[in-house]
Homo-oligomer: A and B are copies of this chain.
Amino acid sequence: MEITPPRATELVDVPSAMARPTLSDVARLAGVSGKTVSRVISGQHNVSVETRERVMAAATRLRFRPNHLARDLRRGGVTTTVGFVMGDLTNPFYSSVAAGIEREMARHGLTMVIASTDDDPGHEAQVVAAMLERRVRSLLIVPIAPDQSYLEGERQLGTPVVCIDRPAHNLAADSVLFANREGAAMAVRSLVERGHRKIGFIGSSPTLYTHLERLSGYRDALIDAGLRVSREWERSDAHDTESASRATHELLAGEDPPTAILAANNRASTGVLRALRDTVRRIAFIGFDDFDLADTLGITVVAHDPANMGTEAARLALTRERDLSGAPTQVVLPTHLVHRGSGELPPDQSAV
């Protein structure tokens, strides 16, 4: 008995992956030229109804999907994609910003590409390069590297650059920021009004713009109130929840501990709250950045709208496309104090 070898057609009939149909495949099946198919799929009107239907039928049958790469290339390399470069997608602050960008861009038929620098300054240029090579039509970035001058050329070459949450270094780019100083100052003033004289500040990094601004606001408000500014009450090394918690413990274990604490960001807040749970003293607390359970927990915060920050950034980018040479715009979004109880506690007498 002979062993029948598989027929060639059998092998051919089970392709692991057939090639995607192109416009020409559709054209052949519909019996028209490629150009006509092009017209149909890009919705031009000068095509007869019968032809249009025939083309549509052929396209559907072949499961044709126009190749956006080819289209963008032909149209001059300007894509319908915008890039967003941020530090850590896990941080709800950034993801809210991303959601705001995504929504606004989607309204304009644009798609968002995300890349994370993992909060590594050395990673920024690399991640940005990957986006530019994909010809994003604009670049929204939360700058982390100490210098963004390398983006000047891109701006000149027609790619709008918008900085989010922090201004760029050595680059005249549009930016969207929060009223950081004023927010921190409001928080301090509110605490002072409740009788606090010793207020701690827990922040992340002395090189970070938002940290510095908020710290300035904090100091200015203390000075304006005629109070003492003390380095002892300022911590700039709370990079994450863990270190913020530790910093809080240390602050409270000091000789002359504060009766109130201001946390410079959401991560720090989480850490401070964890630390405060272990203390019998009732420390007043205000956090910068609102968060999910803050209302439930009665946490007073300096609130703002991160999604709106994304929206505004998207708008700046879209506007900039139309006037590449104009002076950079800086949008400052308001912060406001949301009183929920934790920031309204009076100074704990046992701590004095």
Interface of A toward B, CB cutoff 8 Å: 14, 16-20, 63, 65-70, 72-73, 77, 79, 81, 88-90, 92, 95-96, 98-99, 102-103, 106, 111-116, 118, 129-135, 153-154, 156-158, 270, 273-274, 277, 291-293, 295-297, 307, 323-325
Contacts and interface: CB of A to CB of B under 8 A. Distances in A.
25 contacts: A14-B325, A16-B325, A18-B157, A18-B158, A19-B157, A65-B129, A66-B133, A67-B77, A67-B133, A69-B77, A69-B134, A81-B134, A89-B95, A99-B116, A103-B116, A106-B116, A111-B115, A111-B130, A113-B114, A270-B293, A273-B296, A291-B293, A292-B292, A293-B293, A293-B297
Contact of A133 (B65, B96, B116, B277): B65
A70 B86 CA distance: 26
Q: Which of A111, A135, A296 has the most CB of B within 10 A?
A: A296
A98 B115 CA distance: 10
A102 B73 contact: no
A215 to B, nearest CB: 24
A184 to B, nearest CB: 22
Contacts of A324: 16-17
A111 B83 CA distance: 11
A277 B296 contact: yes
- How many of these chains are in the complex? 2
A113 B111 contact: yes
B79 A73 contact: no
Instruction: Please provide the 7 A-B residue pairs with the shortest distance between their CB atoms, ordered closest to farther.
Output: A17-B158, A95-B95, A89-B99, A68-B133, A63-B153, A274-B296, A68-B134
B98 A114 contact: yes
A308 B67 CA distance: 32
A134 B118 CA distance: 26
Given A113-B113, A291-B292, A79 B90 contact: no
Contacts of A295: 274
A109 B90 CA distance: 20
Given A63-B153, A68-B134, A99 B106 contact: no
A292 B290 CA distance: 13
A95 B112 CA distance: 14
B81 A113 contact: yes
Given A69-B72, A296-B277, A114 B114 contact: yes
Given A67-B73, A70-B73, A273-B293, A99 B88 contact: yes
Given A66-B133, A89-B102, 8 more contacts: A16-B323, A17-B158, A63-B154, A68-B133, A69-B73, A88-B99, A113-B114, A291-B293
A63 B158 CA distance: 13
Contacts of A133: 65-68
A321 to B, nearest CB: 9
Nearest to A115: B111
A135 B69 contact: yes
Contacts of A297: 293, 297
A157 B270 contact: no
Given A89-B99, A99-B88, A112 B111 contact: no
